[in-house]
Amino acid sequence: MTRIINVDGAGKERSYLTKAIVAAIRELAKQKKPGVEARDLVSFIIFSLDTIAASIEISVIAWEKRDYWLKADRFRMEWAWAGNIAGKMRTALFDEDWGSIAALAAEIGQKLAKIKVSDNNRLGTPWKGFWNIISNQAGTIT
């Protein structure tokens, strides 16, 4: 029996999402006033940060199996901000606190400053319709 190799691992997904977050923050900075697209952008950033935070444990499992505890803990600490900022941004979005959203977007931009995304990227606009997803999740939770 042959091994099954997963070519779409957590690292690839995290790389794609970080690039998409950087593109979304750039697009959010271009917005003149809050509207439907701004809500979609912020919702996409929240969803992406939550997905990144969930992928961290998947990544460190292999290291912990090999007793690389320090490497696993460092990696967790390096990405711990993602879940925290996603929670703060979700609260700010539902409270319509656009000043806090701008500050959190700047903080995310600082964390992802090393990520390079060209203006002619192939990411497209993955944030379209994410406000509906986030608001529906909030509706089922509360």
Number of domains in the chain: 1
pLDDT of residue 100: 94
User: Among residues 95, 87, 56, which one has the least CA distance to residue 73?
Assistant: 56
Do the beta carbons of residue 44 and residue 54 sit within 8 Å?
A: no
Is residue 82 in some structural domain? yes
CB-based burial of residue 72 (10 Å sphere; 0-12 exposed, 13-18 middle, 19+ buried)?
buried
**In-domain check, residue 67:** yes
pLDDT in tens, 54-106: 988 888 888 888 888 999 899 999 999 999 999 999 999 999 999 999 999 99
Q: What is the pTM of this model?
A: 0.83
- Alpha carbon of residue 29 to chain centroid: 17
Query: For residue 87, what are the domain limits?
Result: 10-116+128-136
142 within domain boundaries: no
Dump pLDDT digits (tens) for 42-53: 999 999 999 999
Is residue 123, in this structure, part of any structural domain at all?
Answer: no
Q: Cα–Cα distance between 49 and 29 in angstroms, integer?
A: 18
Residue 111 belongs to some domain of the structure: yes
End-to-end alpha-carbon separation of the chain, Å?
47
In the block, tokens 């903080």 appear at: 107
